[in-house]
Amino acid sequence: MPIQSSELILNPDGSIYHLNLRPENLALDVIFVGDQDRVEQISEHFDTVEFTTQKREFKTHTGTYKGKRISVISTGIGPDNIDIVLNELDALVNIDFETRLPKAQHTALNIVRVGTSGSLHADLPVDHFLLSQFGIGMDNMLRSYELKGICEDDMEEAFIAHTQWNSDKGRPYIVRNSPALEACLSSDEVHYGITATAGGFYGAQGRVLRLALADSALNSKIDSFSYNGQRTTNLEMETAAIYGLAKLLGHQAVSLNAIIANRADGTFSNDPYKAVRALIQYTLKKLTE
């Protein structure tokens, strides 16, 4: 049965509703950035730019870098935006917009998040790169879907026990990255760890302005969590959602972060823009080796 118009929403020009993209506008290698201004910081390295569009916070440039076709897309902030972006990207490659039916042959995207984050440990200093091997989702977004065994159940149980997680918040989920993309993007320049993904910036990440926290010790519990030699290294708002939806939809995903703050020792990068530029150059180099 064709997917109804209220579920697969298209613009009058045939593009997908939020991203404003048609299938031919999207490359199979996709870089995610949160900040729309970072799209140009990546596409300025391209040899050619064939397509640009923007709708709301969702900005896309598609072009070619050293013979590889790449799309750069700004997702905005948070798991709710990731829900929009990944579902619409999947629709672009795996649903026929004319018949509104899923295609018989599945197409997998390679998705690399290039972001910024704060380190939770003094020995993971600012201006270094981090590759997230696992994402801990504390946002509940992925729980809207049938998870079909994609989660790291034993690690979830260990995290819940270690943090004495309040069940009123909903069960955290933990998802592994794509080992194939990890191998592509790995080097001695990169640190590795577990990334915690929060559903908000202030209370959800333990920040206090005028509101008291439900669990004032939660951040220290997250900081001290480790499993099979892996520790929680950073806290942000997208990685676990990307890993979870990518795995459910059959895509490959890895999250890279430039560490611009260290919450353990209270330091902040003297030049965070330089750190981001270096991570962009690193990512493009590794994707085209």
Strand partners, 96: 101
Chain-centre distance for alpha carbon 61: 18
Mean pLDDT of 162-169: 93
DSSP structure string for 37-80: HHHHHHHTT-SEEEEEEEETTEEEEEEEETTEEEEEEE--SSHH
**Tokens in use for 241?**
């959602």
Q: Under a CB-based contact definition with an 8 Å cutoff, are residues 18 and 55 in contact?
A: yes
**Distance set, CA 8 to CA 11, 102, 118, 153 (Å):** 10, 11, 36, 32
Q: 23-287 — its CATH code? A: 3.40.50.1580
Mean of per-residue pLDDT scores for the chain: 95
> Could you tell me the pLDDT band of residue 148, with boundaries at 50, 70 and 90?
confident
Q: Kindly report whether the global pTM for this prediction surpasses the value 0.85.
A: yes
Sequence spans of domains, the chain: 23-287
Q: Count of residues for the chain?
A: 289
Q: Give residue 283's pLDDT.
A: 97
Mean pLDDT of 138-144: 94
> Could you tell me the pLDDT band of residue 266, with boundaries at 50, 70 and 90?
confident
Q: Give residue 207's pLDDT.
A: 87
Q: How many CA atoms lie within 13 A of 97 on its CB side?
A: 19
> Could you tell me the pLDDT band of residue 206, with boundaries at 50, 70 and 90?
confident
Q: Give residue 265's pLDDT.
A: 86
| pLDDT one-digit tens code per residue, 166-196 | 989 999 999 999 999 999 999 999 999 999 9
Query: Which comes out higher in pLDDT, residue 28 or 117?
Result: 28
With tokens 């440039």, the residue in question is: 61
Share of the chain above pLDDT 90, in %: 89
**Distance set, CA 137 to CA 134, 193, 239 (Å):** 10, 14, 8
Q: Give residue 191's pLDDT.
A: 95
Strands 68-74 and 29-33: parallel
202: number of Cβ within 10 Å? 13
Share of the chain above pLDDT 70, in %: 100
DSSP structure string for 229-285: TEEEEEEESSHHHHHHHHHHHT-EEEEEEEEEEETTTTEE-S-HHHHHHHHHHHHHH
Over 90: is that where the pLDDT of 120 sits?
A: no
| pLDDT one-digit tens code per residue, 4-58 | 999 999 999 999 999 999 999 999 999 999 999 999 999 999 999 999 999 999 9
Q: Give residue 128's pLDDT.
A: 94
Q: Give residue 199's pLDDT.
A: 93
Over 90: is that where the pLDDT of 263 sits?
A: no
Between CA 39 and CA 49 the distance in angstroms is: 12
With tokens 């260290």, the residue in question is: 262
Between CA 45 and CA 33 the distance in angstroms is: 15
> Quick one: residue 149, left, alpha or beta (phi over 0 = left, psi -120 to 50 = alpha)?
left
Supply the DSSP symbol for 170: -
Burial of 234 (C-beta count, 10 Å sphere; 0-12/13-18/19+): buried
Q: Give residue 251's pLDDT.
A: 98
Over 90: is that where the pLDDT of 118 sits?
A: no
Between CA 124 and CA 233 the distance in angstroms is: 8
